[in-house]
Amino acid sequence: MSQRLSSLYRHAFVTGASTGLGRAFAEMLVADGVRVWGTSRESSRLGELVARHGPHFTPVALDLRDGAAAEQTFRAADQSAQFDVVINNAGYGVFGQFAATDFEPWREQMEVMLVNTARLSHAALRAMLARNRGALVNISSLAAEFPLPFQSAYNVAKAGLSALNESLMLEVAGTGVIVLDVRPGDYRTDFETSVRRPSADFTPRMARTWAAFAAMMRTGPDPAHAAAALRRALLRQRSGTVRTGRFFQAVAGPFLARFGSLPLRRRIQARYYDA
């Protein structure tokens, strides 16, 4: 019989747990005997998980647009639960031309997805190091390595988060804490519907790229695939990077990036998104 996560971890905190990858992570953890505190901007969106898992799932209202309030919410929950798994997953996309739209949507996205996610990481890591146990999991993206056309702030936030993860892996070495940098590709989630488009004006290039992006989201692997990859990484109890998704994105793409030239990589990306 395979080892269960509950033999290593007891309580988990998962942001963005109402849909998509966050929900898949929460479901996976509960199935393995871990009690989960899952967040959404509106706790009512977590009702189905509460009904399905009862006392094994606790809904938490948390909005990353307010970093101070989000940190306070996390600290209050951690005081009683003492989380040994924290998964920073919440996020969203903004699709548009960087120079053709106001700067505010880009600033807000970087603050929410990089600065405020780092703020939660800071609070979680302090608590874990004080207890000398735990796993900090930050959900980055393969966009950190292969930037998405017309989603510049998303690319910056995810690249910055991966850089933070790499730094933290070095800092926690030799302790009872691990850091996982999870980089998913396109999965079959509702992420496409959550993408904000600050301008209604689409150039032909933008329209082609959006169609390619939407098609890849609709035909991507099921989120349970990403949850299984995270489960394996948690069981290994070692810091590291987890690339997951369809074969080209998670395996072939990184291989070409490592051994191919930068101009080749750029040509492949442009062709892939029809940009």
Per-residue confidence in pLDDT tens, the chain, 275 aa: 589 999 999 999 999 999 999 999 999 999 999 999 999 999 899 999 999 999 999 999 999 999 999 999 999 999 999 999 999 999 999 999 999 999 999 999 999 999 999 999 999 999 999 999 999 999 999 999 989 999 999 999 999 999 999 999 999 999 999 999 999 999 999 887 788 988 777 899 999 999 988 898 899 999 999 999 999 999 999 999 999 998 777 777 777 667 778 887 777 777 777 76
Q: Which amino acid is at 183?
A: R
The single residue of 9, 92, 154, 272 carrying the catalytic annotation is: 154
Under a CB-based contact definition with an 8 Å cutoff, are residues 189 and 156 in contact? Answer: no
Separate counts of helices (H) and strands (E) for the chain: 12, 7
Domain 5-272: CATH superfamily, name plus number: NAD(P)-binding Rossmann-like Domain (3.40.50.720)
114 to each of 54, 172, 247, how far by Cα in Å? 32, 20, 27
**Rounded to the nearest 5°, which phi and psi values hold at 87?**
-115, 110
154 is an active site residue: yes
Return the domain boundaries, the chain.
5-272
Q: What sign for the dihedral angle of Cα 27, 29, 35, 40? A: negative
- CA-nearest of 177, 32, 12, 33 to 87 is 12
Query: What is 133-192 written as a DSSP string?
Result: -EEEEEE--GGGTSPPTT-HHHHHHHHHHHHHHHHHHHHHTTSSEEEEEEEE---SSSHH
Measured CA to CA, the distance from residue 209 to residue 2 in angstroms comes to 43
Residue 155 tokens read as: 């690319």
